[in-house]
């Protein structure tokens, strides 16, 4: 018994350290536990707490931190009891779905589950009842431990399982009525088909004893989990739709669950497939006189699956799984993409702050950085100290006159060219050209919005000013791209080969068969004869 007390005290000391670190909302410091309240049965802790508060609202309250400092905890169940009470009192102060609400629920789940696992691992009794029975019958200690552990672990609920239900009522179309000349039939009464529609879990914690109120016509329902163990191969559709050659007997269950839901066309639809990264390798040299005109390396190269380049994408084919490609993408993004985005953001924010700590550059340095010429060779400098940007140095092929421009004369082309000639002095550096492009795009967007505002929903062609701006922007972009600006600079971003690439996907829904209408086979257009069938008599000779 002394050894058990030492194990319990050591367990509680270690657990208190973890409890203080995990408590980010100061739950253990809140005085929310009634001093005279204690419930021995874990299933009735919250109900008894509500009844105790209603009967004695002025009862003195203490905190878990106070009890830890006073050394009042002597068993794991006591701290389990107080964590449940404190979390229930704190979670009632917040709305369902808020951040603090979810954090308190997670704190309760984490601490109680950790306590249950550690207690079960050490083989301790979670309650002090039946101690005399254990002393009289020492061989029954394992059974008592198992019963107490099951009693506590069964009261641990992940969620309360509430969901919103809407009873959808649809009126079925009436059947076609057959009119008769002799008897009049009353029209059939419309049939109402009722179908319940369930929402996802509302996210309410099991600690929250407040009644969930939903407006009409919605209702509340409880999700009851199954106790059957689902086998691991139940995730594949093959397990449900595998054809069976021999029908099952009367006492056996059928293996085909989704017979009426499968269609033969579904098996020909190409399933989503992920890109497999490969690399080229060289075979040993080929010595043959039959392929003299072929390049040697073309015969030696072949593709093999790379062992160094691996993708984060799923390695399994989704045709053997029920999971969709959208779920795989979201799982990848939540596990890897968000972390990579945060790392890149911190990296660039650190670079910007480090650059901000440097001393301010001189005016001459900033002028040199802004007026960097587009070409690799230095630009000519005038006597006034201004560098000239010569458009003729780009490419000789740009001076070729197009016959299309001679045949189709457009006045806006002349206006755009005249405007570019007026702003020729501004085309001295890539930074200035990019600034002109940005300002022109803003002006173009403003003109387009004014045209939409004046014309309303009616279609109207773009104005001459919009066309001139458009031609100017395209010309400046072409000029900037064909120049040598930025070719000697290394691009800081590299494309990762570890990103998953989805090659194909099924758009829309799977094809299904059209419902076939039943028609009688032996149906003729003639009326039935009154005499009935008869045979033609042969004449006498």
Beta strands per DSSP E along 13-92: 33-34, 61-62
Same domain as 38, residue 147: yes
pLDDT at 353: 46
Same domain as 164, residue 41: no
pLDDT at 443: 92
Same domain as 216, residue 327: no
Mean pLDDT of all residues in 382-403: 52
Task: Identify the residue with better confidence: 129 or 94.
Answer: 94
Mean pLDDT of all residues in 462-479: 86
243 within a domain of the structure (yes/no): no
CA dist 193 and 168 (Å) reads 8
497 within a domain of the structure (yes/no): no
250-256 long-range contacts, CB within 8 A, separation 24+: none
pLDDT at 228: 41
Give yes or no for residue 531 having a pLDDT over 60: no
The predicted-structure confidence for 423-443, as pLDDT tens digits, reads as follows 777 777 788 888 889 999 999
268 within a domain of the structure (yes/no): no
Same domain as 91, residue 51: yes
Average pLDDT, the chain: 69
Mean pLDDT of all residues in 33-55: 87
pLDDT at 441: 92
| pLDDT level of residue 368 (50, 70, 90 thresholds) | very low
pLDDT at 377: 41
313 within a domain of the structure (yes/no): no
The predicted-structure confidence for 136-146, as pLDDT tens digits, reads as follows 444 454 555 55
205 within a domain of the structure (yes/no): yes
Domain boundary among 430, 465, 482: 482
Domain that holds residue 431: 363-482
Residues 6+ apart with CB under 8 A from 429: 370, 371, 372, 373, 374, 389
pLDDT at 439: 92
The predicted-structure confidence for 507-528, as pLDDT tens digits, reads as follows 555 555 555 555 555 555 555 5
Same domain as 165, residue 147: no
Report the Cα 4 to chain-centroid distance in Å: 48
Q: CATH code at 103?
A: 1.20.920
Same domain as 134, residue 100: yes
Segment among 44-53, 121-130, 217-226, 228-237 with least mean pLDDT = 228-237
CA distances from 34 to 43, 82, 258 (A): 18, 10, 56
Same domain as 137, residue 36: yes
Same domain as 124, residue 193: no
CA dist 276 and 315 (Å) reads 9
Same domain as 6, residue 130: yes
Domain boundary among 482, 504, 527: 482
Residue in the structure block whose two tokens are 């914690």: 205
Q: Name the domain count of the chain.
A: 4
Q: What does pTM read for this prediction?
A: 0.38
Inter-residue contact 213 to 224 (CB < 8 Å): no
pLDDT at 444: 92
| pLDDT level of residue 234 (50, 70, 90 thresholds) | very low
Same domain as 166, residue 149: no
Mean pLDDT of all residues in 23-34: 87
Segment among 14-28, 41-55, 98-112, 303-317 with least mean pLDDT = 303-317
Give yes or no for residue 306 having a pLDDT over 60: yes
| pLDDT level of residue 411 (50, 70, 90 thresholds) | confident
250 within a domain of the structure (yes/no): no
Q: What percent of the chain has pLDDT over 70?
A: 49
| pLDDT level of residue 323 (50, 70, 90 thresholds) | low
pLDDT at 200: 74
Same domain as 147, residue 41: yes
pLDDT at 222: 77
Q: Which of 383, 393, 471 is nearest to 428 (CA)?
A: 393
The predicted-structure confidence for 332-348, as pLDDT tens digits, reads as follows 777 778 888 888 888 88
pLDDT at 116: 80
Same domain as 163, residue 57: no
Give yes or no for residue 191 having a pLDDT over 90: no
Domain boundary among 482, 499, 533: 482
CA dist 70 and 80 (Å) reads 17
| pLDDT level of residue 76 (50, 70, 90 thresholds) | confident
Task: Identify the residue with better confidence: 84 or 367.
Answer: 84
Mean pLDDT of all residues in 351-362: 47
Give yes or no for residue 381 having a pLDDT over 60: no
Bridge pairing between strands 162-171 and 192-201: antiparallel
Residue 288 CB: number of other CB atoms within 10 A?
A: 8
332 within a domain of the structure (yes/no): yes
């Amino acid at each position: 018994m002394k050894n058990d007390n030492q194990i319990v005290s050591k367990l509680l000391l270690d657990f208190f350290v973890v409890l203080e670190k995990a408590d980010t909302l100061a739950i253990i410091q809140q005085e929310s536990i009634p001093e005279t309240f204690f419930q021995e049965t874990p299933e009735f802790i919250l109900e008894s707490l509500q009844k105790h508060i209603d009967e004695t609202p002025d009862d003195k309250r203490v905190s878990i931190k106070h009890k830890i400092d006073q050394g009042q905890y002597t068993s794991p169940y006591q701290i389990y009891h107080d964590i449940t009470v404190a979390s229930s009192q704190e979670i009632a102060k917040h709305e369902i779905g808020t951040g603090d609400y979810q954090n308190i629920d997670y704190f309760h789940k984490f601490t109680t589950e950790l306590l249950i696992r550690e207690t079960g691992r050490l083989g301790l009794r979670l309650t002090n009842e039946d101690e005399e029975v254990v002393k009289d019958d020492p061989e029954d200690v394992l059974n008592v431990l198992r019963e107490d552990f099951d009693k506590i672990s069964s009261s641990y609920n992940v969620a309360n399982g509430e969901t919103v239900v809407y009873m959808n009522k649809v009126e079925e179309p009436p059947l076609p009525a057959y009119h008769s000349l002799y008897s009049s039939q009353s029209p059939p009464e419309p049939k109402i088909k009722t179908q319940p529609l369930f929402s996802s879990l509302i996210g309410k914690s099991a600690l929250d004893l407040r009644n969930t109120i939903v407006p009409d016509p919605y209702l509340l329902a409880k999700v009851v989990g199954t106790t059957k163990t689902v086998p691991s191969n139940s995730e594949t559709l093959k397990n449900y739709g595998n054809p069976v050659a021999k029908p099952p007997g009367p006492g056996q269950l059928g293996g085909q669950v989704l017979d009426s839901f499968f269609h033969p066309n579904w098996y020909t639809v190409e399933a989503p497939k992920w890109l497999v990264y490969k690399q080229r390798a060289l075979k040993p040299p080929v010595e043959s006189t039959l392929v003299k005109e072929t390049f040697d390396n073309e015969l030696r190269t072949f593709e093999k699956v790379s062992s160094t380049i691996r993708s984060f994408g799923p390695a399994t084919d989704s045709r053997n799984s029920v999971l969709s490609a959208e779920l795989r993408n979201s799982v990848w993004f939540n596990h890897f993409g968000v972390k990579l985005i945060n790392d890149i953001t911190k990296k660039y924010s650190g670079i910007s702050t480090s650059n901000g700590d440097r001393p301010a550059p001189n005016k001459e340095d900033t002028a040199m950085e802004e007026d960097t010429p587009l070409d690799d060779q230095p630009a000519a400098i005038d006597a006034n100290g201004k560098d000239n940007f010569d458009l003729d140095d780009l490419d000789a092929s740009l001076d070729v006159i197009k016959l299309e421009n001679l045949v189709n004369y457009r006045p806006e082309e002349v206006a755009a060219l005249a405007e570019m000639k007026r702003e020729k002095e501004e085309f001295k550096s890539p930074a200035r050209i990019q600034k002109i492009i940005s300002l022109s795009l803003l002006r173009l967007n403003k003109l387009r919005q004014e045209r939409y505002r004046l014309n309303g929903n009616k279609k109207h062609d773009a104005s001459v000013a919009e066309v001139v701006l458009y031609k100017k922007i395209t010309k400046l972009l072409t000029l900037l791209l064909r120049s040598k600006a930025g070719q000697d600079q290394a691009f800081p971003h590299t494309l990762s080969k570890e990103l998953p690439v989805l090659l194909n996907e099924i758009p829309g829904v799977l094809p299904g068969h059209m419902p076939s209408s039943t028609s009688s086979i032996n149906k003729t257009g003639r009326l039935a004869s009154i005499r009935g069938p008869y045979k033609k008599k042969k004449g006498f000779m």
